[in-house]
Amino acid sequence: MREVHIDPMSVERLAHLMDPERAERLEASAALARRILDGRVVWNVSSTASGGGVAEMLTTLLSYTRGAGIDTRWLVLEGSPGYFRLTKRLHNVLHGVPGDGGPLGDAERDEYESVLADNFETLRSLVRAGDIVLLHDPQTAGLAAGLRAVGAHVVWRCHIGRDNPTELTDLGWSFLEPYVSVAQATVFSREAYGPRWLDRRRSRIIPPSLDPFSTKNVDLPPGDVDAVLRQAALVTGPADHGNLAFDRRDGTAGTVRAHRSLFAAGDEVPADVRVVLQVSRWDRLKDMAGVLTAFAAGLRELPSDTHLMLVGPEASGVGDDPEGAEVLAECVDLWKTLPVDARERVHLVALPMDDVGENAHLVNALQRHASVVVQKSLVEGFGLTVTEAMWKNRPVVASAVGGIQDQITDGADGLLLADPADLAGFTDLIARVLDDDHLAQRLGDAAGGTVRDRYLGDRNLIQYVDLFSELLQE
């Protein structure tokens, strides 16, 4: 295991975005946390520190938690390639898809328990009786029993799931039940995600949240957006105006590097075109291939100055996702089959992960540059990239699945695609936004308000303090 450095952030920064009553609730909750957690450590254990929504959320929440005076720490487990193939299989199965189609039998259980037993040896020397440990997602569930044995309070936090159970999801939950049932409490993003056997009295619903001051979400003037994208050779033209500097989470300053080519397929995007953008991991459930296919098939229905950018991380930079490189390669192969006129308007980008601050800054600039942000997931736990685009007042077109349905009210602050497999309907929704500037502006403005009201970090912090208070009273 390795520990992730957490830089404290003052909760007062959030308070400046709130009305006085909301700010007072946040401060009262922080004061309660300092009192009940005095002398205890709140540990978080996950499978990666970068490259996905869980890592993004933890980076934010733990910074504010430490800034509120709480001793919180973050550990990332280590695992074998076979272990991560297995946990990716579990990830897919809990979403109701077979993934690699491999088994979840005794051999897989032995592999799972063996890797977590090795990780527990580190935890045993760190966690004390009375500490609180939040275990994140299937990768960590098998640590619960050992942690309970040393006297820790254990919460299992699941960020994934499916609204309608299937035989596949039941298979995945059966694998996890012996581990998850040991935890004193569970946390899900949606009520429907909990398995049938879950004790609902000990479960909480806490959707993720967004940090408006993070590198990925902080305000960027249009001139800086243009300069950043040109410096990274994502958009044509020299970076002769605008600021290329950004602030990392740890307070250090960075500058966007000059990149030769971040394109896995396609060339630089012309500066004067409109961009339809999807940012996500190279995960089959995000359906990047479906977005590409729909866009290419619907070119005649879209304005002629519209280009598509599919943007994900450099595949080797996400250690707990062995499918990433495969999915990216599949999308590149699909791009190669397109007619020349379609290839010229489709661009696949793999952003570097060696500097997570620069990565976040590039995503920020791309989302602000986009005319429409899409998220055509087949299934979705929550969809933090949707939240990010909404915060930036972008019109969003997304599938009506999972937590995306909680974020977007169709026609009010975004447009929802009822059936993710409806490629023609997806293209029609994009065309509606591109053909109607008033609609795009209205949806974008309302989207920013939705995030401000419902998806900033103060809600998450208050909900977790309430949960911890209940645990410590038992």
pLDDT band at 20 (very low <50, low <70, confident <90, very high): very high
Beta-carbon contacts of residue 185 (< 8 Å; ≥ 6 apart)? 154, 155, 156, 202, 203, 204, 467, 470, 471
Q: What is the pLDDT of residues 424-463, one digit of tens each?
A: 999 999 999 999 999 999 999 999 999 999 999 999 999 9
Q: 3-class SS at 180? A: helix
**DSSP for 81-118, written as a single string:** HHHHHHHHHHHHHHTT--TT----SHHHHHHHHHHHHH
Domains 2-209+456-473 and 222-454 are alike in CATH topology? yes
The residue type at 116: L
pLDDT at residue 57 in the model: 87
Q: 3-class SS at 345? A: coil
Residue 77 or 260, more confident:
77
Instruction: Find out whether 134 and 204 touch, Cβ atoms under 8 Å.
Output: no
pLDDT band at 320 (very low <50, low <70, confident <90, very high): low
* Closest-CA residue to 218 (of 415, 357, 101, 35): 357
pLDDT at residue 318 in the model: 60
Q: What are the tokens at 467?
A: 């949960």
| Cβ contacts of 197-202, under 8 Å, gap ≥ 24 | 197/173
Q: What is the mean pLDDT of residues 263-290?
A: 96
Burial class (CB in 10 A: 0-12, 13-18, 19+), 330: middle
CA dihedral (145, 157, 42, 154) in degrees, to 10, reads -20
| Tokens 């293209």 -> residue | 427
pLDDT at residue 54 in the model: 87
* Closest-CA residue to 346 (of 336, 356, 361, 360): 336
Specify the CATH number for 2-209+456-473; select among 3.40.50.2000, 3.40.630.30, 3.30.70.580, 3.40.1010.10.
Answer: 3.40.50.2000
Q: What is the mean pLDDT of residues 258-267?
A: 95
pLDDT at residue 321 in the model: 72
pLDDT band at 295 (very low <50, low <70, confident <90, very high): very high
Q: How far, in whole angstroms, is CA 323 from its chain's centroid?
A: 17
User: C-alpha distances in angstroms, 233 versus 111, 259, 324?
Assistant: 43, 6, 23
pTM as predicted: 0.91
User: C-alpha distances in angstroms, 210 versus 140, 154, 190, 374?
Assistant: 23, 25, 17, 18
pLDDT band at 238 (very low <50, low <70, confident <90, very high): confident
Q: What is the pLDDT of residues 48-75, one digit of tens each?
A: 887 677 888 898 899 999 999 999 999 9
Encode 420-447: b = buried (16+ Cβ within 10 Å), e = exposed.
beebeebbbbbbbbbeeeeebeebbebb
Q: What is the mean pLDDT of residues 227-248?
A: 92
Instruction: Find out whether 459 and 211 touch, Cβ atoms under 8 Å.
Output: no
CA dihedral (266, 271, 274, 278) in degrees, to 10, reads 50
Q: 20-24, 239-243, 314-318 — which is least confidently predicted? A: 314-318
Q: What are the tokens at 356?
A: 């997570």
Q: What is the mean pLDDT of residues 294-316?
A: 95
Tell me what the pLDDT averaged over the chain comes to: 95
Q: What are the tokens at 285?
A: 């459930």
The angle subtended at Cα 53 by Cα 51 and Cα 54, nearest 5°, is 95
Delimit the domains of the chain by residue range.
2-209+456-473, 222-454
Instruction: Find out whether 376 and 291 touch, Cβ atoms under 8 Å.
Output: yes
Q: What is the pLDDT of residues 154-189, one digit of tens each?
A: 999 999 999 999 999 999 999 999 999 999 999 999
Strand (E) positions, 192-244?
203-205
Q: 3-class SS at 429? A: helix
Q: What is the pLDDT of residues 340-350, one digit of tens each?
A: 999 999 999 99
pLDDT at residue 319 in the model: 56
- CATH top class, domain 222-454: alpha beta
pLDDT band at 264 (very low <50, low <70, confident <90, very high): very high
pLDDT at residue 310 in the model: 98
